[in-house]
Amino acid sequence: MPHEYTVPAVQRAVDVLELLAGSHTGISLADLSRQTGFPKSSLFRILLTLEKASIVQLDRTRNIFTLGMKLIDWGNRALEKIDLKSVTHPHLVRMAHETRESYYVAILDEYEVIIIDRADTPEIWRMVARLGQRSPVHATASGQVLVAEFGDDALQAAAQRSGLKRFTPQTITSLNRLKARLKEVRRDGYVVNDAEYKPDLCVIAVPLRDHYGKTVAALMTALQSERSRRNKTLVQAIVETLKREAAVISREIGYQGPAA
């Protein structure tokens, strides 16, 4: 938008909020005036208006301004409106183009995994997985990522839902073995699931986290098991790619924790 259409007073308010957002202890009127170059009189009117709306708050004992609780409310509302698929899809398409692998995003629904987004490699082979397809948590890489931080009660409920059914000789069918696997997922930040759900499929998955730090989805890719066993370097490279991209996506949906 052309500069002549902007409102100077609004821009000043934005500049003030940016400064307050960068301060852990708050800033006085005098310091705000010095840092912005704005006159104290106009700054005071801006701050008074923002305080009235609970956008900033004034510690009258120290005469220090800080951000107000209204911004938390607005921020949470904005984060709740984020459409996860609209954020992830451009990443999946780019990754598929750059690496010649297929990528998927899955979420948890009623203790089952559902694929909500995908971008396929131009190569001939691809994982047979349609959008909306459901699969059990205990036997899949995405499921193990999604329940990795579950407490005992929630994990027990998930296990009862699936019955820990055996799909291949490699399927985890013991709750104790599942707990051990989930401990590894929490430690490593990813999982490599080889032939546990489908005998010829190796799936690698990492978590996507929201503004609360909660795992809300799994980002994953799939290789033919034979290929993954022949090329351990490729598997590790994919792990690093997934973790790196997951960190970017998580930031875009509000995660503020440490990078992977």
**pLDDT, tens digit, for every residue of 245-254?**
999 999 998 8
Q: Among 26-35, 51-60, 81-90, 212-221, where is mean pLDDT lowest?
A: 81-90
* Share above pLDDT 70 across residues of the chain, in percent, rounded to a whole number: 91
pLDDT at 79 over 60: no
Q: CA nearest 92: which of 112, 113, 117?
A: 117
* Mean pLDDT across 152-157: 90
Q: Are strands 112-119 and 215-224 parallel, antiparallel or unpaired?
A: unpaired
pLDDT in the model for residue 80: 59
Calculate the alpha carbon distances from 55 to 9, 10, 12, 75, 214 in Å: 15, 13, 14, 12, 27
Instruction: Look up tokens 């948890």; give the residue.
Output: 108
Q: Which distant-in-sequence residues (6+ apart) come within 8 Å of 161 by Cβ? A: 110, 111, 112, 136, 137
pLDDT at 148 over 90: yes
- Domains belonging to the chain, first-starting first, are 3-77 (1.10.10.10), 82-252 (3.30.450.40)
Whole-number average pLDDT of the chain: 88
pLDDT at 124 over 50: no
pLDDT in the model for residue 72: 75
Instruction: Look up tokens 């809300």; give the residue.
Output: 216
Instruction: Name the percent of the chain in helix, strand, coil, to the closest 5.
Output: 45, 20, 35
For 161-216, write each residue's pLDDT tens digit. 889 999 999 999 999 999 999 999 999 999 999 999 999 889 999 999 998 899 99
CA 227 to mean position of chain CA atoms: 29
pLDDT in the model for residue 64: 94
pLDDT in the model for residue 218: 96
pLDDT at 62 over 50: yes
CB hemisphere CA count around 234 (13 angstroms): 16
* Mean pLDDT across 234-238: 91
Reported as a pLDDT band with limits 50, 70 and 90, residue 126 is low
pLDDT at 132 over 90: no
* Mean pLDDT across 83-98: 91
For 94-115, write each residue's pLDDT tens digit. 999 888 889 999 998 888 898 8
Q: Any bridge partners for residue 70, and if so which? A: none
pLDDT in the model for residue 73: 76
Q: Which distant-in-sequence residues (6+ apart) come within 8 Å of 37 by Cβ? A: none
Residue 138 · residue 164 · CB < 8 Å? yes
pLDDT in the model for residue 145: 97
Q: CA nearest 117: which of 99, 135, 129?
A: 129
* Mean pLDDT across 139-154: 94
pLDDT in the model for residue 2: 52
* Mean pLDDT across 230-248: 92
Residue 49 · residue 70 · CB < 8 Å? no
